[in-house]
Copies of this chain bind each other. A is one copy, B any other.
């Protein structure tokens, strides 16, 4: 047989050279030794540098008893070779993919071709390829048409910052890279395509967080003549299929659904981690009755006292650790953290328990279903601060107390999001999803009367406490669309200028339609059980949006800029290098 691959490692042993030969499918042990190989072959095999590419010819044999390696797929065989050919020798590399102590990520990104040789990286990208193939198969079976939408599009100042592409033919004008194919897919519905799907590249020139990339991939789809239930049902099937085919896991469908209001009430967030319990409980009604100043004042001001029961944690958190948690919730605007231990006799104890009537303490304990050994924690603040603080606290405690396993997969829907958010400083309304989202039919009249109470036909898919996708039913009549634009402060002239083609499309026979977009990078990361999005992207950018391997972005010639009618300006010496 003939084998090609990389020399992962080699050992001289008893006059023979043992080579671990690596290819995409795994490792194979190659033995170059007597009697098959002659002295010259053995000696030259001994001199092959690690990570060189070789071709070997030889015979497959069983390994000697006791020499099998159960960690390898090919661990029970070895190849005895008399012919080793170096296809390409490897210079001394800055690191090897098999070394135990890997260098920092920057060096690995610079030498990405070495880093991508690591088994973990290969597995991640193979998983990604499989997940995307499964998605495409699923939608093809459901009669979706895969349509490519343009990358060179039009800049719309809404939402995040666009990446711009100067035009050479149209002096002074610019294309923009799409933040999503949103308007194109709506146009496809108006054009009668009925079911559209695309694995689409999207772009946002934002300040980057750990899990954001300037370019990212989304599974994007749109359907006509459907409602929110149809879309969620379709995606339920996708989730189950993907989990089964790719991970061998069963996911029960339909996935659970919860309204936005319920999620905020029970978990303080619209993407709750449902792998563990520990729900938020509102004890404001009790607080209003107590003499404890902090609780009472909060209730009197119309604010909230809400808490969680951290089961069996009374002895797990010392006073010092609770002080740390107090500092932690203060980062989210809380003024403090109230807590009680449930004692063996069922009473609540804490530094503040003496300020509360025992009957009220009992009421609180019962509301939180407290049992001996539990730790009860409370925030007394505005609705928003209790949500943010308790969400963060729950997330932290869930991880610290290992309330879930990393291989758990919990998927659910959050529905009926508010249509709008109000910027309290400017008084301006903004769209919570995007300005093309349809309100719930029963909330249509609230568009004019009470925008804050108006709920959207919107749905987010949450996996393990991360938003893994979101969609909406869209507005399909131009009148409602204009009404929403007005509410968002986009006047008629501006709307026609920016979205004229959409408004036109809505006038010329637009069907009811809706869709969803799933973050593919995030999905792969979650399904692979990883927490660095750069590990599921072959050539990611750093948090400063640079590609360390190709050194992009780079300098360009003045001639290139002249052709584009551009000149660079205002660059401080500290910024250029």
Contact = CB atoms under 8 A, between A and B. Distances in A.
A557 to B, nearest CB: 7
A128 B541 CA distance: 32
A113 B51 CA distance: 55
A562 interface: yes
Name, among A6, A175, A201, A551, the residue most crowded by chain B CB atoms within 10 Å (CB to CB).
Answer: A175
A562 B553 CA distance: 18
A147 B125 contact: yes
Nearest to A555: B173
Given A140-B133, A169-B545, A545-B170, A112 B538 contact: no
A24 interface: yes
A383 interface: no
Nearest to A512: B87
Given A122-B193, A145-B126, A170 B553 contact: yes
Interface string A485-521: 0000000000000001100111111111000000000
Interface string A524-566: 0000000000000111010011110111111111001011111
Contacts of A169: 544-546
A193 B125 contact: yes
Contact of A116 (B162, B188, B541): B188
A154 B24 contact: no
B151 A151 contact: yes
Interface string A140-176: 1000011111111111010001111111111111111
A111 interface: yes
Interface stretch (A9-17, A88-96, A279-287): A88-96
A427 to B, nearest CB: 22
Given A126-B145, A190-B113, A553 B154 contact: yes
A25 to B, nearest CB: 8
Contacts of A154: 547, 550-554
B24 A172 contact: no
A113 B187 contact: yes
Given A112-B187, A192-B23, A194-B23, A177 B155 contact: no
Contacts of A188: 116, 538
A315 interface: no
A193 B570 CA distance: 44
B553 A508 contact: no
A129 B177 CA distance: 23
Given A549-B187, A552-B154, A509 B560 contact: no
A29 B140 CA distance: 28
A203 interface: yes
A184 interface: yes
A190 B113 CA distance: 6
Given A510-B88, A570-B562, A153 B576 contact: no
A52 B509 contact: yes
Given A24-B192, A151-B215, A556-B164, A170 B546 contact: yes
A171 B571 contact: yes
Interface in A78-117: 87-91, 93, 111-117
6 contacts: A52-B509, A53-B511, A88-B511, A170-B545, A501-B550, A566-B568
**4 smallest beta-carbon distances between A and B, as pairs:** A116-B191, A154-B552, A173-B553, A90-B509
Given A88-B510, A148-B217, A170-B544, 12 more contacts: A22-B192, A90-B509, A113-B190, A116-B188, A117-B191, A147-B538, A152-B203, A152-B214, A154-B552, A164-B564, A165-B553, A169-B544
